[in-house]
Amino acid sequence: MNRPLRHVAVFCGVLMLALLLRANWVQFVQSETLANDENNLRVRIAQFAQPRGDIIVGGRPVTGSREVSGADFAYKRTFRQGAMYAPVTGYASQAQGMSLLEKTYDDVLSGRDDRFAFQRAGDIPTGETPRGGDVITTIDPKAQEAAYKGLTDLGARGAVVALDPRSGKVLALASAPSYDPSVFAGMTFKEGDRFKALDSDKGKPLANRALRETYPPGSTFKILTAAAALEHGVVSDINASSGAPSPYPLPLSRNTISSEAGDAVCDKASLKTAMQYSCNNVFLDAASKVGADKMRETAEKFGFNADVYSEDFGDMLATKSLYPDKLDRPGTALTGMGQGSLTSTPMQMAMVTAALANDGKLMQPYIVDELVGPDLSSIEEHEPRLKSRAVSEDTARKVREMMEFTAEKGSAQRALIDGITVGGKTGTAQRGVDVDKEVPYGWFVSYGEKADGASVAVAVFIDPTDMDISRADISGGRLGAPIARNVMKAALGV
C-alpha cells in the first residue's frame, strides 16, 4: 500500500472509531437524559397519553384532562379558574411544555413516577387506562380569591403572597395580570398564536411576580432594619430618641433625605414613632450604624441572597432577593429604607413578616402538602421545617409592638380587623434613574393573629403603571392595605 492510501485508510479508521465511540456514548451515557428531555416529542406524547392527575386546592381539583382526537396526543390539559391559579399550577401545554407545579411534579401527574410501577403493572392485564397521581396544595381557596380579586379590581400589575407563619404553608400566591393556561394547552396554530400574544404582551401576564420578579421593597424593609438594629444592640429602647436629624444627611454626600411625614414629626424620633410615620431619617441612621456586614447578615437570616433552588422555596423556584455585597456607607444607609441596590420578591417580604410574627423563627415556605397515587394512597407528605432563627424572640416581639402600633395609630390603619391582632407596614418604593418621571411601586406587609394563635402573614406588591391614578395617590397603605386585610380575613375565617 502506497503512502497516500495508507493515510486515507488511517483517517477512515479514526472516523469509524469516533462514530463507534459517539454511538456508545449516546446509547449508554446520554440515553436517559435524551429520553427524558422535554423537547423529545416522544416524552411529550407520553405526558399526554393518559389523563394527568390533578392539582388540588381546598379539596377540589383546579385542573383536568380532556380526551382529544386526530393527533399524537390522546389528552389535553384543562384548568378551572385558570388565571387565578396560574401562578400556582403553571401550564401544561402540548406545544409549549410545562412550568411550576405542572413541571416540578410531572412524573407524579403523568403517572410515570417509579412509585407507581406496581400499579402500572396491574393495569396491563385489566386493560384499565393508567392515570397519574394528584398534587395536594397548601393554598386556601378563599385567601387566593381575595388576593386575586384585590389585584384585578385595582387593574394593577402586582402580586400577593400569604404564609402561615407557624408552618411555612403558602396560603395564597397571586399575580396580575395573569393568563388562562387552557387557551394554549394544545398543539394548534391558533393556540400557538395565543401563547405568542401572551409572551409579547407589555403587561407580562406570563410573569410570576410573586416569585420570579424582584423590586426595591421600599419602606416595608424598615421592619428588617428595625430588627437588625435591635438584634445588634444599636437600639435597645424603641421609645427613646434616635438622635437622627430630619432631613438626614446621607453619609459621605451633600445630599439630604426627608420624610413625607415632615421634619417636625421625624426629627430625632424614636424607632417606634419612626415606624408609625415611616420616617426615613431614623432607618437610614440605624442601617448606617449597624453597618453593611451586619445588615447583610440579618437579611440573609430572613432569606435574602439564598440560591435559586427549589429546596429554598419548598416546591417553587424563586428568583434570589438581593442584599448586595461590598456596599459603601451611603449605599448601606439607603438599604435601611429599602432603596439603593436592594431588591426583593414579594415572597421574600412575606417571609420576613412571617418570621417576625413567629417569634423570629423563619419556617421553610412550601406549597405542596401531599402527593397521592392514582389509588388515592399517600406517597409523600410534607413536614414543616425550620429554615433559620432570623432574630431573637425579644427582637421579634419589639418589632411586632411597633408594627401593631403602626396599624393602630399610623399608616397601616386600613388593615385593621375587629377582634384580630394586626401589625402592618406600608411602603412606597422609588424606581428608575429619574424617580420624578417613573411612578413608584406600592407595598404593604402585615400579619394577623387570632386569640387562639392562628395567624397569617401577607405581602402585597402593586405596580400602578397601568392604573389611572395620580402619583399622590400611590401608596402601599392606600392600595395594598385593603387587599391584605381581605386576604387576612379569608385566611383566618373572620
Which residues contact residue 193 at a Cβ distance below 8 angstroms, ignoring those fewer than 6 apart? none
- Cell digits of residue 463: 405596580
To 10 degrees, the CA torsion angle through 209, 212, 217, 222? 120
Rounded distance, CA 382 to CA 366, Å? 8
What are the distances in angstroms from CA 403 to CA 30, 238, 275, 308, 460? Answer: 55, 12, 7, 30, 16
Rounded distance, CA 455 to CA 494, Å? 12
Residues 146 and 487 sit within 8 Å (Cβ to Cβ): yes
What are the distances in angstroms from CA 240 to CA 231, 272, 282, 405? Answer: 16, 9, 12, 15
Which residues contact residue 57 at a Cβ distance below 8 angstroms, ignoring those fewer than 6 apart? 85, 88, 137, 139, 141, 144
Residues 142 and 491 sit within 8 Å (Cβ to Cβ): yes
- Cell digits of residue 22: 459517539
Catalytic residue among 167, 219, 344, 446: 219
**Which residues, in sequence order, are bridge partners of residue 304?**
none
Residues 104 and 310 sit within 8 Å (Cβ to Cβ): yes
Ordered DSSP codes for 305-345: T--S-GGGGTTS--PPPB--SS--HHHHHHHTTT-TT-BB-
Rounded distance, CA 280 to CA 15, Å? 71
Rounded distance, CA 397 to CA 369, Å? 29
Rounded distance, CA 357 to CA 426, Å? 16
Rounded distance, CA 445 to CA 213, Å? 17
What are the distances in angstroms from CA 51 to CA 38, 99, 111, 287, 351? Answer: 18, 18, 9, 55, 36
- Cell digits of residue 120: 402500572
Rounded distance, CA 446 to CA 456, Å? 8
User: Residue-wise over 229-254: b if at least 16 C-beta within 10 A, else e?
Assistant: bbbbebbeebeeebebebebbbbeee
Residue 200 known to be catalytic: no
Tell me which residues are annotated as active site.
Answer: 219
